[in-house]
Chains A and B, each alone.
Chain A
């Protein structure tokens, strides 16, 4: 962002036409801080409970399907890559390429959720879900591990779902030329959000799948 009027004694002087590009980016970063704290609390609980029940967490994690988890990590990383390129494309004025890449991002997100569905389903069929008799019959460490698993991947999944809706909206905006080579802050902020969702998964993956 170029700011030529940056003098010690002057404000940004942008009050005529509403908020500028920098303002939009600032607000998105602030929003991501709040998301970070939101997930941060869950990671905090994870840390506390894991330190109390390290052995149980170790055993419970064997229930997780590491193959599906790994595939999902790749799917999500790829989707992050797609949306990053879609921003680069729109900045070069390649509208159709950008739209296809955004669409590919959505596709990856849907694949991610589908795999997630099968993972959850496999556990639920085994009777491992919150408040189930089988889970309550296990130790406290197991109850907490699977409680955290469902809550954290569930809220993460909710973020993926919101991401799908938002990116679909971006496809529409790009189609309607609201997002263009010069006015792309919306798409870029969506990209930031999507990378954040991706990063959260990158931490969830080892905490639930690789701690065996």
Chain B
């Protein structure tokens, strides 16, 4: 990158405002994406810290935290990780930064609405932080806010729930904006099946955000109304039914799993062809399976409630559809592996994270089938097995993919390179620590250790200890990774426009991109691939 490029990047074009307002008031999708990224990673760090504290408390219950504090600890860990990090996650950070560039547009469809979602996100986050600090104390319900306890507890559930409600609207408007952008803002020649696969997953995710989040929003309103006005829709003493809360909650929160995982799959579908130097295997199947997951994912919420009290018919149907949703996920896994076959593989850090994603997500997905079938579920429901399963899917899946995307697009976003060797060392500690931490939980859960217990019975102490040691390895890995990225940010080499040999549109413009993205609208004449291997094969 030469001097001239740096002067014309979006970092120097601040618009009407100066100082911090040049960021907060900006409608540039790239600036909004970066602000989101910074906020997400801050909350992620806090969430990791809380997670490490939870693990620490479990090997010596009572020495650092009492039982009530422990309940609050895992609640805040969940609320932060789920609502402030992983659900907004990839779409708001990478989606905002890259969606317009990858489809050859100057910005999203509604730039000011985009900025509004960022403000909503900040407001929601602030309200949740208030809930932690104000008198009454942080909520102790678990991140699911299950009624009737969430209506009775004296902790600041109202504030936290209201914060999540606001975040929900941020999510809805982001989804609405992205869907419209993808429909109407594609550049000339970019037909649906010439879109990069990351865009396909953002499209599917956008629909899920739009069509699932309102259900959560109104459910949370009922909690608030229940606390303030005694509206008893979930209160059996007033004719209500707590089971209805679980249904409404999971009607959103299961599709929300796909809000987290679909864009993660999109990143993997971008990274693997580039580092295998090969066209993705089965482009159409990968693209359409994203939609299939989004659609079928709506109909499986009942599998969170197999032991809550449902008719056998309902349970058999939910179990069957749960198995169905594994099919499109499996299609994607096979396609990624087939893409690697006979590729010219360059094992750079983004690919390392992507390969870890495939492994960890497969473990998470396959254990999902175990707990998705009715008989094992009775044994495993509410145990560490569930905790291990969803950490494999969310952290091992969405989290690792987030890191893959961060290492892949870091040069484009910041115009700097990071140290490859340190990234790999960090990955090694993270990957090892991750498996030590969470695989122990599969074993604990299988042995019958219930989740959320403050004091594990003595026979579980051994695996609890191993799991906690894993959390230290994992934290070491994350510290190494972010230390490396921050060093790269300030003192890394200047990044060229296309350091990896990517074939999508973001690699055709300078790093970091100019404020208007493209001087002239690009015209697309083929698929988003065309790597060396493809050209060799003709």
* Interface, chain A (partner B; CB < 8 A): 8-16, 18-20, 22-23, 26-27, 30-31, 33-35, 37-42, 45, 48-49, 52-53, 130-131, 136, 139-141, 143-144, 147-148, 150-151, 155
Contacts and interface: CB of A to CB of B under 8 A. Distances in A.
A13 B186 CA distance: 6
A175 B186 CA distance: 34
B167 to A, nearest CB: 15
Interface residues of B, number: 47
The residue among B177, B188, B191 with the most chain A CB atoms within 10 A of its own CB is B188
A185 to B, nearest CB: 12
A48 B244 contact: yes
Contact of B239 (A9, A141, A151): A141
B521 A144 contact: no
Interface string B190-206: 11000000000000000
Contacts of A35: 214
Contacts of B135: none
Nearest to A139: B239
Contacts of A147: 231-233, 238
B214 A41 contact: yes
B176 A27 contact: yes
B180 A26 contact: yes
B284 interface: no
B432 to A, nearest CB: 43
Closest 7 pairs between A and B when the two form their complex, measured CB to CB: A140-B239, A11-B186, A131-B230, A23-B184, A37-B214, A15-B105, A38-B214
B248 A20 contact: no
Nearest to A56: B239
A18 B177 CA distance: 12
A9 B195 CA distance: 12
B233 A19 contact: no
B189 interface: yes
A8 to B, nearest CB: 7
A12 B186 contact: yes
B213 A11 contact: no
B237 to A, nearest CB: 8
Interface stretch (B40-48, B106-114, B336-344, B346-354): B106-114
B218 interface: yes
B87 to A, nearest CB: 16
Given A12-B184, A19-B181, 16 more contacts: A11-B103, A11-B187, A11-B189, A12-B185, A12-B186, A18-B106, A18-B109, A27-B179, A34-B211, A34-B214, A39-B218, A41-B219, A45-B233, A144-B232, A147-B232, A148-B233
Given A27-B177, A143-B238, A147-B231, A18 B107 contact: yes
Contacts of A141: 239
A95 to B, nearest CB: 25
Interface in B217-243: 217-219, 221-222, 225, 229-233, 238-241
Contact of B183 (A26, A31, A131, A136): A26
A22 B184 contact: yes
B230 A34 contact: no
A154 B481 CA distance: 50
Interface of B: 103-107, 109-111, 172, 176-177, 179-181, 183-191, 210-211, 213-215, 217-219, 221-222, 225, 229-233, 238-241, 244, 248, 521, 524
Given A15-B185, A34-B211, A27 B225 contact: no
B239 A144 contact: yes
B259 to A, nearest CB: 14
B109 A19 contact: yes
A144 B107 contact: no
Contact of A14 (B110, B185, B239): B185
21 contacts: A8-B191, A10-B190, A11-B189, A13-B186, A13-B188, A15-B185, A15-B187, A16-B106, A18-B106, A18-B111, A19-B181, A23-B180, A27-B109, A27-B179, A34-B210, A139-B239, A147-B231, A147-B232, A148-B233, A150-B231, A155-B221
B209 to A, nearest CB: 9
Contacts of A15: 103-106, 185-187, 521
Given A41-B215, A45-B233, A151 B191 contact: no
B184 A19 contact: yes
Contact of B191 (A9, A23, A39, A130): A9
Contact of A30 (B180, B186, B188, B231): B180
A38 B215 CA distance: 6
Contacts of B104: 15
A110 B181 CA distance: 36
Given A10-B189, A12-B186, A23 B109 contact: yes
B175 to A, nearest CB: 8
A39 B213 CA distance: 12
B257 to A, nearest CB: 18
A138 to B, nearest CB: 10
